Structure 1
Amino acid sequence: MAELAEAAGVSAARKFALATGGIAPMPLDDAGISTAGRLAEAVRTLAYIHDQVLPDSSSDKKKTIEEWGDALRVAADLMVAPARFEYWQRSQFDTMLNDLVRDSQGAGDPESAGDPESAEDSASQVLLTFADVRALLKMGLEGAKSKARMDVGTILVATPGQLAAVPYRVVCILGLDADALPGSRASGDDLIPTAPAVGDRDPRNEARAELLAALIAAQDHLVITCASRDVRTNNKVPESVMLDDLLKVIAQTTGLTVQDLQGVEPSQGEGEGDTGAFTVMTTHTRQAFDPKNFSVDGGEQPISFDPAACQGAVALLNSQQNQPVSNQVFMSESLPADDSATATVELTQLGYFFEAPVKTFFRNRLNVYIPKASEASASELPIKLGSLDASEVGRALLELGLTMPAADSVRFVPDEGPTQPQVLALHNSLRARGLLPPESLAMPQLSELSADVSNLLVEAESIGVRRPAPHAHPIDLRLSEDTHIVGSVGNCLDGDRPGPLRILYSRPKPKHQIRLALDLLVLTATDPSQHWRGVLITRPESKAKTTVEQRSWSVRGATAKDRQSEALGALKELLEQYKDGLLYPLPLFQQTSYAFFKNLKPKEVWGTPGDTYSDYPKECDDPYHSLAFGSLSYNELFAAQFGEFNFTTESNRLWSVIEDALTVENLETAEEPSEDDTEEDE
């Protein structure tokens, strides 16, 4: 066991080791292999260009203009490709290089420019550095400059400053967003703002002058467009400071409030201070088929006149008006059975299904995948670990702690920092990946995380279940002539009470119990001679007073035959629900169904659709649930019928099977198998 622990520690140290230059290796999944291959090919191509195409030390990094032209053409062939319908860019690039070579050849004696014998004396033979060529290319890539004509055409595209003192009936300012305006922070390479002086440029005041020029130029209308919501997440984005200043000036001029100008309900009572006619800000929908685009309020004309979008709006209203919840679901009938999908069921796939039944249906049967909104990379150093980053660090510490000899090896105090080499390597790896704040800010929080992990390991060691066996138990269980379960169960304990052990840096969740129950059932059904026991050790509930929560289950039954019969019966019922879930999206939800079965405030667990004040996403706003059942409140979910299935039946169907098949054990006073049990096993 000591040798295995030492080998595991070496493996963990290699996992968290940094690459050349102190760079943290980035783990890749199957989908990222192709991207990594393309990146490697780009790096190899860039290295080839640097070594073969660009100048080397033998020529003192200088080439003639003709040699530079050939080198740049080769680099363009290898590294860049124009987009569709933009092939003219490459032709223009080649033309520019040819013009440079031709102009340089004619820069010497014009009479001998075409004479090959005098080519050695022409300007094209002058050796140039890459900086010289870049300066020559810059002039050709800038494009031809032209002066804006303010007196021609019915539509003019220009900066607002160019419109000063030129009257126009309508002036439109496009994209007055916060990220499009100059900020107060200067570039790190700009040293002038560090020592301001009278006469220096002020980007903010210059931007305000541009807006003032547009205001003066507009005779009838001034239209300003800006983004009110993020295009990826649909979350509200803050308005620009300049737009807020403009609204304040308009409010002071008209005697109204900024809320009235924005169309917000006035603070006065109903019938008092009706300022709707003075609203200057209108929020437009992002979808062209939104019914709001075709509604007429106050006798005004609709926003849109698109006939195709209007038909879509009518169809949307007809599908939502006076329709029961059961008619708003994604499917009205079940799909035909697919015997090939259920003939051989993998244990991991069975666990994924009961963890997210609706998501599994869409992915496995319909090949529908809803991507998550990618989080933007932070541009500033973090000063505190977020909840997700803290969980990731905690899981990494726990994974490392399971391989170390002492349970408290991962614990450290903030003043000293990590002392164990493995913990220090993990610390450096996390810092290289950009997860950790500066050391002085990160150490107190990392110390708390290490204490939580140490408590988990100490608790596991105190009850003698810290180190699972290194091998996995294979599963090949045939439940009927046309269905059998295959897979393996790893991280199991040996000894008198073997079984799966799960030590998790997580709060207890229903999916943990489901996964452990499936492992126990298949192990008991495969080998009933062993009195299998599942152990789950997690962090406690957020409001609990303890530091660790431990639970243990085993399959009911006094003898091996009874336990096997109980396990097979439970697995058959779970397999039937699994097969139904591949034919139709079942109204079965990991947390809400468990809360309903246990009577633990399921309405709060389900949440309110569209609630933006929740600390974390609720199951009612899950994109797969919304796609399958629509936007439902808990009362609507409770009363609705989805095809042949409903929420209450499916919730009881799952958890009653698990509760009836398993019994809770006390880890400290777990009873050994009885003599009758031992005789039956023999």
Structure 2
Amino acid sequence: MTLFVHRGTSADALASGLAELLAKPLADPFAEEVVAVPAKGVERWLAQRMSHRLGASVGQDGVSRSDGVCAGVRFLNPHSLVALILGIEQGDPWHPEQLAWAVLRAVDDSLDEPFAHTLALHLGHGMTGVEGELRRGRRYAVARRLAGLFADYAAQRPAMLADWRSGGSGDGLGGAVDDDLAWQPELWRRVLGLVDAEAPEERQARVVAELRTGRLSGLELPGRLSLFGHTRIARSEIEVLTALGEHRDVHLWLPQASPAAWSTLTEVAAGGPVPRADDDSGLLINHPLLASLGRDARELQRTLALADAVDQPLEPDESRPPTMLHLLQQDLAGDRAPTVAERDARSVPAADRSIQVHACHGQSRQVEVLRDVIADLLEQDPTLEPRDILVMCPDVEAYSPLIHAAFGLGGVVRDTAVRDAGTDGSHPAHTFRVRIADRAPLHTNPLLSLADQLVLLASSRLTGSEVLDLARSAPVRRRFGLDDEALERLTDWVSSVAIRWGLDAEHREAFRIRGLSQNTWQAGLDRILVGAAVDGDEIDHVGTTLALDDLDSGDIELAGRLAELVARLAGTLERMRDASTAEDWVGVLRDGVLGLADVPVKDAWQTAQLERELARVGAAAAAVGGAGLGLADVHALLVGRGAARATRSSFRTGTLTVCTMVPMRSVPHRVVCLVGLDHGVFPRASTPDGDDVLARRPVTGERDTRSEDRQLLLDALMSAGQTVVITYSGFDEHTGATREPSVPLGELIDAVRRTATGPGVDRLVTEHPLQPFDARNLGVAGDRVELLPEGRPFSYDPAALSAATRALGDRVQREHPVDVRLSPAPMEDVDLGELIRFFDDPAKAFLRSRLGMVLPEIDEIQHEGIPIELDGLRTWQIGERVLQSVLAGRDLEATCNAELWRGDLPPRELGYRTLHDIATEVQALAALTWRVAGVGGP
């Protein structure tokens, strides 16, 4: 049995080779084929691609009808394949999510010991005050990060962990770990003592030995298996696959941009992995773009030298038309850097838009440009369909709402051609169906988001706006029956009863304010409920609670729903204060979310996912005896559990797919769009983790995020069959200042300009105006700069065309539909309030008094602090209320008490003094008013 390495420049060729292999049946007709893939997107594409060959019928012309089915094939990812071989159950204690709890327990138990002094200082052990509290809030986040580091050590440098287990402190390369990291070996030994399982490096060494001798029992794998589409395989996984190849055929199907570069590096790579600082293999590469972007592929070749593999390269496809994209791909495949003469001999016409780079003003403008580019591609090529187009971006969460707004308004795809769309005034892209494939559950499941929101509320002041934001979330609205009108009503009530922050006086004690219930939710709710219970014409207060006089009989139920919402929230937050272990937190979060939220039947999966994630947390923590958790720890835990996870069903559904750059990196598409390749965003910042032993002296084959992102760009270029579209922020959206492209994108632009000449290359980078309705986008400017060949307008937006046409047209003075001259206003008394309103906003006062127009009030931002002093307007408002009440015959003392209970005055002595000054002035004004009017006061 053998380990085979199949190399090809395209995934299509590799898939064809795999299909030929799988078409030959196994000896056992009931055995499943096993194929490991790097991502769910590759799995979906490969399954569809296999169905074109496996079981497909053949027509009379000898051509397959592509009517087969991909059955009897078990797809795994490399980790799950290795886990299957190693006999790891689903709850692997050495997986970072599980291991974090053991690390947390070990850290907590070691903080008083000398070796953990660095950790203790970082986590605020023994510190008091705010800084100590903030540092202690890092506990779970630090434990999870360390668990990830330990898992990386096990996968990429297992010899180091073996040395640590035996009492050493080596770095796996013959040296010792640096002094500032000397606490890690001892911490790892403490973790080993808490986990009742074989150490990961020990387990792997045992399984590899048993695989080589054929003594591993219980391994249910067929006589052959394949790994497809990988550009990086960890050293530990190579060891397992090599041992597996002793008694089975193992096939590696690897996309490689350049067979020529592989051949060039064969002798150098035979030396195996070396320290990255000593690796000079990039100097042997001729094409500068291949040298810059292809380090991951070169390092994989070094790692594979550890295995005694049979190399079986596939023949590259040379039958492509000489477009700008294909010329670049051929140069990369052949590792050729064109000479000046070769470049000048290649002339690319203006119509060749196979590589497009668009410099835009910010993220929103990039998406607008993208939809026009896609609409134009569909218009110009009737054979192109949305499923042939892939959109990838480094930060899918940032672009998700922009893409939904630009593409997702139609919901269905029209049957008519793109050029017939948009006749209703909308952009044709509004009819495209779009699927965003790998968003984080924290953003797609509102119940998980609500759980995190509750944790954040537990450490907040519970301001009026924070609780109203909770009420506005869709699951909470559904639970309490809150429509838009009800939410608007609640917002008015919160402002009217002066709810600022704090649940009640007891809740405020955590913020060092004692015995003050004014402006809390409890005080405000009391006012609302009293207002709902009493007749405001007869009773305006109960005890010291002033009734809200803005309620009618129809508001009683809404007031009750608000009280129930706040009561359930208060109960959840009270339980959170008592929660300490993971088990406590799981129960509190489950009960809190399900008590505050409800989802429709079609979204029942959201509840199941919430309970599943919480159950996993509880089980993992219980496995090591539990650990204490604070609010910051739980927040970090929920954010980690809610990270992006791709699902198989999100890809290749016939829609236009949007995803990050990992899941579909090498999957062929006719059009590949890369959005957001901005400087500082791509490649990802790779500031080394100061606690990472591997980062101190990295070895080839060990993961590096910047190299990985560069390889992703190279894979995307090689997977495009027809067009590559790239957008980036070339200008500041506020100042218009020029921004440089990211370094890899700049290298790509330079490489294209060294590949060929001609009008097509001259138009490689398109600089777009700030606004979509700029005349240059729409072909309506007489001196326009053409953005597309042959003078075609760039934009397909009818609304933008209308705006551009109107802006360029003559300004026409329209006749007024009515006589604008108003008759003189009648002479009448003007009160002080009306005079103040006029000087405050003359235009609004004119519209109200002369035209009878009532403009909607625009809510100002409510000040959410406890009032300490009043400005002139607030003082006048309180004084005006007191004066009008006294003039109406009400007792001054009762009126002042009502103002104290209202919540607008500063608390305690500050409020008493302010009210005393107001009352004194009111008495004088009232006496003067009665004397002028010739009547006696009460």
TM-score of the pair, normalised by structure 1: 0.31
Of structures 1 and 2, the one scoring higher in RCO (CA 8 A, sep 6+) is 2
TM-score of the pair, normalised by structure 2: 0.24
